Structure 1
Amino acid sequence: MSSSLWRRLAESGPFWMIVAGFCFGVMGVFVKLGSSSFSTAELVFYRCLAGVIAILAVALPARRPLWVPWPAMRVHLTRSVSGFVSLMLYFYAIGHLPLPTAVTLNYTSPLFLMLLTALWLKQPPQAGQWLAIVVGFAGVALLLRPTLDATQWLAGVVGLSSGLLASIAYMNVHELGRLGEPEWRTVYYFSLVSSLGAGLVMLCQPQALTPLSFGNLWILLGMGVAATCAQLSMTRAYCKGKSLIVASMAYLTVVFSTLFGMLIWRDVLPVSSYAGMLLIVGCGILSTAASSRR
């Protein structure tokens, strides 16, 4: 690749969102691989600990301030706790559902975000936005219908709940942006709180902890590297590109996860599931576009 082409790509928001979507998909692969050996809390702990270490390695030498005044800290804590619980639910769903199904359910967050905006901020959706919400959740029904059996219905509800809590986290991210908080500090507190929360859950079940070995360490390293690269790429994408275009391209994670599921686990979902995924992604993009105009 020529240096001039690389420079152009390095300044392209869509390019970095493609990288982020790919890396988030790779992270999902490692989470699913690790779910057979590690508990959900362990996976969340190691994933977020990698983020804490990566940010501290950059922030401390540059003497960037980590502490913030209480009004901003309160929002950081709300965002971090909701994000932590959402991540726990998301990783559980990945371990118990086909990868593309779990990822798509988590990406219902824009639909929930529009509903929460109407309830909390008293900004009722317009007719077209209501249609996007209704059609989007019809897609959820199509996606979950084949999995609502005795063994997977709970995982489906958990995956959908992760999307709901993620929407609460995103509302707080927006508030932090309004307060002038940098993205790296938002990611830092989320990673820190999630590491501590997952660590407490692990301490409550010490007998269930999985010893680290060369046979499983590569899964944790792969997950941590992929998650950190995804976070950094997504942050750069929003800095370099137009927010609406970049946010819409975030749904590439669903595409990559579907391809990984087919290649690695031979996941072939019913036609109705793929139709549901298309409805969720399409309505999610419309919801994102509507939210950006507010």
Structure 2
Amino acid sequence: MSNITIGILLLVAGNFFASLSDVAVKALQGDVQPFQYMFIRQLFSLVLITPLWLKQSRTQKKLQQKSITLIRAHLILIGSGCMVMAITYLPLATANAVFYTAPLLMLPLSFILLNEKPAAGKVLATIIGFIGVLIVLRPSQFHWAALFALGTACTLALFNILVRKLPKEQTVITTLWWTTILSLPTSFILTVGYWQPISHTNIAFIALSAALILGYNGLAVLAYKKAHSSEIALAEYSGLIFVALFGVLWFDEIPDWITLIGILLIVLPLTPFKKRKKS
């Protein structure tokens, strides 16, 4: 089995886990405050990551670029809070279609923040993608929760752009551990004022969501180490297929053909096409 095939399988498995995480959030049915969700999920994430962080050498454990990591930690909080609202009140396929615009948003943000000048083809692809977003959201049937879905996409885009500011020698485990622990003080302060009784079932759903997202992150890292991103990135969008199927099976959410066209317009610009070499 080639490295590309292995990479694709790892990414598909990772997106399957991420889609199940969305199902776990949807299953909360709005009974858990977003601030509670943020704090409990980050706490469980810390418990899961800490044993891996402790196994590293003292040098590997050290945090670099503290200010960037602190910003990214709070972007996680904003994004996860927005994600809870979006998934709770929108169909899974609709919410995720908007989440997947994060790579499109990275283009204008990288121009503003990193002074990167995009090629004309990328600009055109981004415009097509945003037309797809408008089709999915349909302004005539606009739901306020779509703003939270866009908020998640924006935080994801910023989160990914700021990765470029981190030193390459810093391990993924160290980055995840410090990002998680730096998010806890703010999430704790926010949740104190909004704390409400929470059932063991809902705690289990949040813990499951945390574990599944960490599983996705780990599988994604392994996948991109096996093959170049341009060769396997398309497998990332298997998540849209999974959430659409889960929406139909468990929540009776059947996307119409207009939504499917919009999703197609979002995904196509992100598809890595290879140019044929002249013989």
- Same fold, TM-score > 0.5, yes or no: yes
d(CA) in 2 for partners of 1:118 and 1:194?
Answer: 27
- Is 1:40–2:24 an aligned residue pair? no
Q: CA RMSD in A?
A: 2.4
Shift of 1:197: 2.9
Q: Which runs of 5+ in 1 are unaligned?
A: 290-294
Matched to 1:219, the amino acid is: F
d(CA) in 2 for partners of 1:172 and 1:275?
Answer: 31
Kindly tell me: are residues 210 and 53 of structure 1, through their superposed partners in 2, closer, same or farther at Cα, counting changes over 3 Å? same
d(CA) in 2 for partners of 1:246 and 1:194?
Answer: 31
Q: Deviations over 1:35-84 (max 9, x none)?
A: 43211122222222222111111221445543324xx2222112222232
Stretch deviating more after TM superposition (264-273 or 135-144): 264-273
d(CA) in 2 for partners of 1:218 and 1:78?
Answer: 28
- In structure 2, the residue matched to 1:191 is 180
d(CA) in 2 for partners of 1:283 and 1:100?
Answer: 18
- Is 1:90–2:60 an aligned residue pair? no
- Is 1:264–2:253 an aligned residue pair? no
Alignment of 1:104-115 (within 5 A): 104-115=97-108
Partners of 1:148 and 1:156 within 8 A in 2: no
Shift of 1:135: 0.6
- In structure 2, the residue matched to 1:236 is 222
- In structure 2, the residue matched to 1:59 is 53
- Is 1:277–2:267 an aligned residue pair? no
Partners of 2:93 and 2:255 within 8 A in 1: no
Secondary structure at the residue paired with 1:251?
Answer: helix
- Is 1:122–2:115 an aligned residue pair? yes
Partners of 2:4 and 2:231 within 8 A in 1: no
Alignment identity in percent?
22
Partners of 1:92 and 1:155 within 8 A in 2: yes
Q: Deviations over 1:12-55 (max 9, x none)?
A: 22221111100000000001111432111222222222221111
d(CA) in 2 for partners of 1:112 and 1:194?
Answer: 24
Secondary structure at the residue paired with 1:220?
Answer: helix
- In structure 2, the residue matched to 1:99 is 92
Partners of 2:16 and 2:242 within 8 A in 1: yes
Partners of 1:34 and 1:43 within 8 A in 2: no
d(CA) in 2 for partners of 1:173 and 1:44?
Answer: 21
Normalised by the length of structure 2, the TM-score is 0.88
Q: Which runs of 5+ in 2 are unaligned?
A: 275-279
Matched to 2:197, the amino acid is: T
d(CA) in 1 for partners of 2:124 and 2:66?
Answer: 36
d(CA) in 1 for partners of 2:43 and 2:128?
Answer: 38
d(CA) in 2 for partners of 1:217 and 1:157?
Answer: 26
